[in-house]
């Protein structure tokens, strides 16, 4: 995960060249058409068994909700009013449909809804099979196609994408028209994908007497299609904002937009905005790479650095051998947390790597995770064992504790804290008096705050905010601050926004849980989100603290 440095730009073309960008820009591949290499009929018992699925169905209904009238700019900040929404909101990947009706494949043609203006949900999780007949789906592109009488919208792993001028795909395709959505590129047998389909009677302006039912559903596999990560034209996706305090209105606009920028990664992490060059660097520790995203035009994606964290003979044993956190020093040089090599390095302008820290008291570091510079050049980094194949129990582990360390050029590496089982994200307060540290520990989901000494010592550590009681298995990951001192924490279910006084102002919930964030673009108001297999961006009201 990335960190912060005050002062110093200067990465520019020299560092970009040193990173050896290897990949070429790729436009978004389209949805494959024509004959598939193999297909699975998801309305047949054999097909549903093959994907280890179970269709469930539940009624959707129109409900009254609170909203606001448009203001002078057309935004929903005017007088309170009542409008309409859909309940339940069943598109999310974690929605609990266990009490819904289990639908046998042969019953998918049963008419549902109440006729006229009515709606219904269908949901199933599917697993990419080992084989489809004689076809091996490994590396193929998987396309879900469904025809609902009359209209359908398709959510894939909690995401509903909608682009300007979009025709079909995840949104309504037309009256009894097929919706075709890519659900996996470079498919892997055993890969689990959650689908939710919202069906509606139509036309909506003159709803007919008939009912909702599934005409067809299938999973098509295409060999030879482009695979791997790629940039797309920024595309709006679903975003839910939980507003708990009026102070959130200064941070999150009344009609915020979350855009997907790129997808197809294994696990995105450690984003860093490089102002000299106007691009985002971020890690994929699972793929052992650093990527560069250029947001100009439609956006482009290149490989900035291969083998970013490890290249040893036991590489295959590592789940996350690559780099994690990235930041810049005062001279604008890239500093990298390398998981597999158990060290922190600096990319010099000639392309060589200088090792800043790799051991403490004669023992090798675990797997440096996040990094943040203080304005005087002192570097703080977290060192949990999460990059090791067996985590806390891994025999490769050198230190028997997880620490936060402080490093200074020409000085001794200092252990600043060993309070947490999983110290993770790091961020300074605007005045640098305090260091915030998140804890990846499902039993203790806390944000700690420490007073920072001039010598790099941390003292007066206390729990700043406790999320342990929040539902969900996720613990705490990355953290960033804006210039007003508000915290943005990757916590259970989304991005928790906390005031400097430890008040929970609200939560942003997108399709995928972000691991970390970086403030970017010219004005520093864009928050880039590295979220599992994709990269997103949202515009917010207060600029962030960034290198």
Strands (DSSP E) found in 440-525: 446-452, 458-466, 479-481, 487-491, 494-498, 504-509, 516-520
pLDDT in tens, the chain (547 residues): 433 332 333 444 444 444 433 333 344 457 898 899 999 999 999 999 999 999 999 999 999 999 999 999 999 999 999 999 999 999 999 999 999 999 999 999 999 999 999 999 999 999 999 999 999 999 999 999 999 999 999 999 999 998 776 778 899 988 899 999 999 999 999 999 999 999 999 999 999 999 999 999 999 999 988 888 999 999 999 999 999 999 999 999 999 999 999 999 999 999 999 999 999 999 999 999 999 999 997 779 999 999 999 999 999 999 999 999 999 999 999 999 999 999 999 999 999 999 999 999 999 999 999 999 999 999 999 999 999 999 999 999 999 999 999 999 988 899 999 999 999 999 999 999 999 999 999 999 999 999 999 998 999 999 999 999 998 889 999 999 999 999 999 999 999 999 999 999 999 999 999 999 999 999 999 999 999 999 999 999 999 999 8
Three-state DSSP state, 541 = coil
Q: Where on the phi/psi map is residue 158: left (φ > 0), alpha (ψ -120 to 50), or beta?
A: left
What's the distance, CA 22 to chain centroid? 24
CATH number, domain 38-222: 2.60.120.260
Cα(175)–Cα(192) distance, integer angstroms: 30
Residue 338 falls in which region: left (phi positive, over 0), alpha (psi -120 to 50) or beta: beta
Residues of the chain with CATH 2.60.120.260: 38-222
CB 357 within 8 A of CB 405: yes
Q: Give bridge partners of residue 195 from the DSSP assignment.
A: 124, 156
Distance CA 523, CA 510 (A): 23
Q: How far apart are CA 148 and CA 145, in angstroms?
A: 10
Tokens describing residue 122: 């269908």
DSSP 48: H
Pairwise CA distance, residues 438 & 89, whole Å? 30
Residue with tokens 């709606």: 119
Q: Measured in Å, how far apart are the chain's first and last C-alpha atoms?
A: 14
Task: From residue 441, give the alpha-carbon distance in Å to each of 466, 474, 529.
Answer: 12, 8, 21
Distances in Å between the Cα of 359 and the Cα atoms of 344, 355, 413, 522 are: 10, 10, 8, 38
> How does pLDDT run across 90-103, given as a tens digit for each residue?
999 999 999 999 99
Q: Where do you find CATH 2.120.10.30 in the chain?
A: 12-25+229-539
Q: What is the pLDDT, as a whole number, of residue 53? A: 98
Nearest CA-CA partner of 480 in 525, 512, 420, 523: 525
Q: Report d(CA 476, CA 311) in Å as an integer.
A: 29
* 228 within 8 A of 302, measured Cβ to Cβ: no
Rounded to whole angstroms, the Cα distance separating 54 from 524 reads 45
Contacting residues for 144 by C-beta, under 8 A, at least 6 apart: 154, 156, 180, 181, 183, 195, 217, 218, 219, 220
Token pair for 389: 């194949």
d(CA 368, CA 326): 11
- Give the per-residue pLDDT at 29: 58
Predicted TM-score (pTM) of the model is: 0.92
Rg (CA), the chain: 24
Smallest CA-to-CA distance from 191 within 234, 244, 128 is with 128
- Given 2.120.10.30, 2.60.40.420, 3.10.450.50, 1.20.1260.10, which CATH number is that of 12-25+229-539? 2.120.10.30
**pLDDT at position 168:** 84
Cis, peptide link before residue 71, omega less than 30° from 0: no
User: Residue 226 has what pLDDT?
Assistant: 82
Question: Beta-carbon neighbour count of residue 203 at 10 Å?
Answer: 11
CA distances from 46 to 129, 272, 299, 336 (A): 12, 47, 42, 49
Percent of the chain at pLDDT exceeding 90: 87
* DSSP character string of 59-121: EEEEEEEEEE---TTS-S-SSEEEEEEEES-TTSTT---TTSEEE-GGGTTS-BS-SSS-EEE
The predicted structure's pLDDT at residue 14: 45
**3-class secondary structure per residue, 195-231:** EEEEEECCCCCCCCCCCEEEEEEEEEEECCCCCCCEE
């Amino acid at each position: 995960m990335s960190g912060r440095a005050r002062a110093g730009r200067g990465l520019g073309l020299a560092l970009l060249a040193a990173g050896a960008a290897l990949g070429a820009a790729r436009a978004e591949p389209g949805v494959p058409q024509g004959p598939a290499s193999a297909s699975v009929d998801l309305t047949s018992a054999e097909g549903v068994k093959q994907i280890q699925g179970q269709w469930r169905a539940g009624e959707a209904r129109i409900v009254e909700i609170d909203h606001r009238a448009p203001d002078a700019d057309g935004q929903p900040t005017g007088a309170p009013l009542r409008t309409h929404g859909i309940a339940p909101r069943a598109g999310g990947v974690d929605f609990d449909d266990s009490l819904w009706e289990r639908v046998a494949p042969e019953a998918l043609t049963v008419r549902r809804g109440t006729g006229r203006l009515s709606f219904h949900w269908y949901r199933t999780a599917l697993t990419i099979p080992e084989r489809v007949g004689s076809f091996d789906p490994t590396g193929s592109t998987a396309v879900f196609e469904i025809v609902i009488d009359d209209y359908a919208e398709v959510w894939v792993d909690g995401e509903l994408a909608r682009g300007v001028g979009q025709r079909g795909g995840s949104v309504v395709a037309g009256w009894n028209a097929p919706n075709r959505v890519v659900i996996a590129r470079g498919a892997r047998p055993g890969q689990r994908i959650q689908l939710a389909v919202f069906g509606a009677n139509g036309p909506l302006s003159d709803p007919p007497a008939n009912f909702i039912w599934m005409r067809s559903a299938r999973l098509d596999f295409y060999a030879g299609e482009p695979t791997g990560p790629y940039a797309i034209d920024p595309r709006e996706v679903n975003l839910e904002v939980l507003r708990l305090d009026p102070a959130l209105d200064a941070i999150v606009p009344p009609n915020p937009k979350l855009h997907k920028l790129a997808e197809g990664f294994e696990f995105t992490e450690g984003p860093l905005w490089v102002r000299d060059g106007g691009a985002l660097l971020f890690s994929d520790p699972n793929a052992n790479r650093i990527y560069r995203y250029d947001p100009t035009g439609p956006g482009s994606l290149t490989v900035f650095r291969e083998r970013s964290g490890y290249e040893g003979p036991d590489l295959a044993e590592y789940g996350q051998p690559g780099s994690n956190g990235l930041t810049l020093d005062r001279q604008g040089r890239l500093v990298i947390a390398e998981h597999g090599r158990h060290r922190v390095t600096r990319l010099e302008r000639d392309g060589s790597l200088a090792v800043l820290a790799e051991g403490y008291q004669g023992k090798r570091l675990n797997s440096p995770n996040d990094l943040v510079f203080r304005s005087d050049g002192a570097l703080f980094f977290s060192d949990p064992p999460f990059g090791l194949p067996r985590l806390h129990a891994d025999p490769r582990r050198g230190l028997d504790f997880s620490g936060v360390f402080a490093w200074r050029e020409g000085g001794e590496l200092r252990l600043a804290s060993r309070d947490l089982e999983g110290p993770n994200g790091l961020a300074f307060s605007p005045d640098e008096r305090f260091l915030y540290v998140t804890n990846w520990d499902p039993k203790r989901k806390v944000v700690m705050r420490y007073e920072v000494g001039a010598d790099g010592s941390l003292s007066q550590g206390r729990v700043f905010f406790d999320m342990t009681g929040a539902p969900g298995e996720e613990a705490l990951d990355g953290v960033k601050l804006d210039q007003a001192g508000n915290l943005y924490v990757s916590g259970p279910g989304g991005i928790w926004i906390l005031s400097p006084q430890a008040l929970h102002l609200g939560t942003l919930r997108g399709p995928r849980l972000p691991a970390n964030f970086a403030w970017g673009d010219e004005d520093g108001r864009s928050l880039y989100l590295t979220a599992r297999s994709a990269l997103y961006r949202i515009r917010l009201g207060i600029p962030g603290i960034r290198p």
